A and B are shown apart, each in its own frame.
Chain A
Amino acid sequence: MSDAFTEIGRALPRKEDRRLVTGRGRYLDDLAFPGALHVSFVRSPHAHARILGIDSVEAAAMPGVMGVFTGRDLDQWTTRLRLAPPIEGLQPTELTTLPIDKVRFHGDPVACVVATDRYLAEDAAECVVVDYEQIPAVTSIEEAFAPDAVLVDETLSSNMVSHQSLCVGDPAARRAEAHRVVSARFALHRHTHAPLETRGCVADWDDGRAHLNMHIGNQVPHPLRSQLAARLGLSESQVTVMSPDVGGAFGQKIALYREELAVAALSRHLRHPLRWREDRMENLMAAAHAREYECRTRAAVSETGKILGLELEIDEDFGGYCFYPANYMARVIALIMTGPYRIQDYAYEVRVALTNKCGAGPMRAPMAVTSWVMEGTIDAIARELGLDPVEVRRINALGPGDLPYTMPTGEVLEDVTPKETLETAVAAIDVAAFRERQARARSEGRYLGLGLCTVIESTTYGSEFYKSAGIPGSGHEAAWVRIEPSGAVNASVGLMGTGQGYESPLAQAVAEGLGVRSEDVTVHMGNTDIAPYGMGSRGGRGATAGGGTLYLCALKARERVLAIAASMLDLNDAGGLRMRAGHIERMIGEDWQKTGLALTDIARRAYLDPLALPEGVAPGLDFSHSYDPPAMTYSNSTHACEVEVDPQTGAISIDRYIVAEDCGTVLNPIVVRGQQQGAIAMGLSGALLEQVIYDGAGQNLSATLADYLVASPNELPEFEILHHHTPNQRTPAGIKGMAEGGVMGAIGVIANAVSDALAPHGMTIERLPLTPQSICALLQEAATSPAKRTQL
Chain B
Amino acid sequence: MNAHKPEPLTLSLSVNGQTYDLQVPARKLLSDVLREDLGLTGTHVGCEHGVCGACTVLIDGRPARACLTFAAQMEGHDITTIEAVGRPDALSVLQQALHEEHGLQCGFCTPGIVMTFEHYLRENPAPTADEVRDVLSGNLCRCTGYQNIVAAVLKAAARMRGEAA
Partner of A713, one of B2, B87, B99, B133: B133
**Assuming A671-B102, A710-B140, A713-B149, what are 17 further A-B pairs, CB within 8 angstroms?**
A16-B107, A23-B111, A24-B87, A58-B3, A62-B3, A63-B3, A63-B4, A196-B46, A197-B108, A247-B44, A248-B105, A250-B142, A499-B143, A501-B102, A670-B102, A706-B49, A719-B147
Chain B residues, Cβ within 8 Å of A30: 35, 41
B21 at the interface (CB under 8 A from A): no
Which residues of B67-92 are within 8 A (CB) of A?
Answer: 81-83, 85-89, 91
Most buried by A among B41, B48, B51, B143: B143
Most buried by B among A58, A499, A500, A710: A499
Q: Do A23 and B42 touch (CB < 8 A)?
A: yes
B157 at the interface (CB under 8 A from A): no
Chain A residues, Cβ within 8 Å of B133: 713-714
Partner of A23, one of B2, B28, B43, B149: B43
B146 at the interface (CB under 8 A from A): yes
1/0 per residue B1-18: CB within 8 Å of A? Answer: 111110000000000000
Q: Can you name 22 A-B residue pairings with CB atoms under 8 Å? A: A21-B86, A22-B87, A22-B95, A23-B81, A23-B85, A24-B88, A119-B27, A196-B52, A197-B44, A247-B46, A247-B107, A247-B108, A280-B47, A499-B143, A501-B105, A670-B102, A671-B102, A673-B102, A680-B145, A712-B140, A716-B147, A719-B147
A777 at the interface (CB under 8 A from B): no
- A64–B3 CA distance with the chains assembled, in angstroms: 11
- A425–B145 CA distance with the chains assembled, in angstroms: 21
- A6–B66 CA distance with the chains assembled, in angstroms: 46
1/0 per residue A94-135: CB within 8 Å of B? Answer: 000000000000000000000000011001001100000000
- A681–B146 CA distance with the chains assembled, in angstroms: 8
Chain A residues, Cβ within 8 Å of B143: 248, 499, 674, 678
Q: Do B88 and A32 touch (CB < 8 A)?
A: no
Smallest CB gap from A11: residue in B: B102
Q: Do A32 and B39 touch (CB < 8 A)?
A: yes
Chain B residues, Cβ within 8 Å of A680: 145
Q: Do B39 and A713 touch (CB < 8 A)?
A: no
Q: Do A29 and B110 touch (CB < 8 A)?
A: no
- A336–B159 CA distance with the chains assembled, in angstroms: 48
Smallest CB gap from A717: residue in B: B147
Q: Do A705 and B140 touch (CB < 8 A)?
A: yes
B45 at the interface (CB under 8 A from A): yes
In this complex, how many residues of chain A approach chain B with their Cβ under 8 Å: the count is 62
Chain B residues, Cβ within 8 Å of A619: none
Chain A residues, Cβ within 8 Å of B3: 58, 61-63, 127
- A719–B145 CA distance with the chains assembled, in angstroms: 9
- A49–B109 CA distance with the chains assembled, in angstroms: 38
B136 at the interface (CB under 8 A from A): yes
| A707, chain B: closest CB distance, angstroms | 10
- A197–B41 CA distance with the chains assembled, in angstroms: 13
> Given A195-B142, A706-B51, do A63 and B104 touch, yes or no (CB 8 Å)?
no
A388 at the interface (CB under 8 A from B): no
Which residues of A477-510 are within 8 A (CB) of B?
Answer: 498-501
Q: Do B137 and A712 touch (CB < 8 A)?
A: yes
A718 at the interface (CB under 8 A from B): yes
Smallest CB gap from A680: residue in B: B145
Binding site for A on B (CB under 8 A): 1-5, 25, 27-28, 35, 39, 41-49, 51-52, 54, 81-83, 85-89, 91, 95, 98-100, 102, 104-111, 114, 132-134, 136-137, 140-150
Q: Do B47 and A705 touch (CB < 8 A)?
A: yes
Smallest CB gap from A714: residue in B: B137
A762 at the interface (CB under 8 A from B): no
- A623–B41 CA distance with the chains assembled, in angstroms: 37
Which residues of A51-81 are within 8 A (CB) of B?
Answer: 58, 61-64
> Given A196-B46, A196-B54, do A674 and B106 touch, yes or no (CB 8 Å)?
no
Smallest CB gap from A20: residue in B: B107
Chain B residues, Cβ within 8 Å of A23: 41-43, 81-83, 85, 110-111, 114
Chain B residues, Cβ within 8 Å of A24: 42, 87-88
1/0 per residue A604-646: CB within 8 Å of B? Answer: 0000000000000000000000000000000000000000000
- A716–B137 CA distance with the chains assembled, in angstroms: 11
Q: Do B48 and A280 touch (CB < 8 A)?
A: yes
Most buried by B among A24, A64, A500: A24
Partner of B44, one of A16, A196, A246, A500: A196
Q: Do A704 and B49 touch (CB < 8 A)?
A: yes
Q: Do A22 and B2 touch (CB < 8 A)?
A: no
Instruction: Give the 5 A-B residue pairs with the shortest CB-CB distance, closest first.
Output: A23-B42, A499-B106, A20-B107, A681-B145, A247-B108
Q: Do B51 and A705 touch (CB < 8 A)?
A: yes
Chain B residues, Cβ within 8 Å of A718: 147
- A773–B10 CA distance with the chains assembled, in angstroms: 50
Chain B residues, Cβ within 8 Å of A197: 44, 46, 106, 108
| A192, chain B: closest CB distance, angstroms | 11
| B129, chain A: closest CB distance, angstroms | 9
Which residues of A10-54 are within 8 A (CB) of B?
Answer: 13-14, 16-27, 29-30, 32
| B36, chain A: closest CB distance, angstroms | 9
A677 at the interface (CB under 8 A from B): yes
A423 at the interface (CB under 8 A from B): no
| A163, chain B: closest CB distance, angstroms | 34
| B96, chain A: closest CB distance, angstroms | 8
| A657, chain B: closest CB distance, angstroms | 10
Q: Do B106 and A716 touch (CB < 8 A)?
A: no
Chain A residues, Cβ within 8 Å of B5: 63-64, 120
A345 at the interface (CB under 8 A from B): no
- A704–B52 CA distance with the chains assembled, in angstroms: 10
Q: Do B99 and A21 touch (CB < 8 A)?
A: yes
Most buried by B among A21, A25, A61, A714: A21
- A781–B91 CA distance with the chains assembled, in angstroms: 55
Most buried by B among A120, A501, A713: A713
Q: Do B142 and A17 touch (CB < 8 A)?
A: no
- A704–B147 CA distance with the chains assembled, in angstroms: 25
A187 at the interface (CB under 8 A from B): no
Q: Do A27 and B25 touch (CB < 8 A)?
A: no
- A32–B36 CA distance with the chains assembled, in angstroms: 9
Which residues of A180-201 are within 8 A (CB) of B?
Answer: 194-198
Chain A residues, Cβ within 8 Å of B134: 713-714
Chain A residues, Cβ within 8 Å of B91: 18, 21-22
- A680–B146 CA distance with the chains assembled, in angstroms: 11
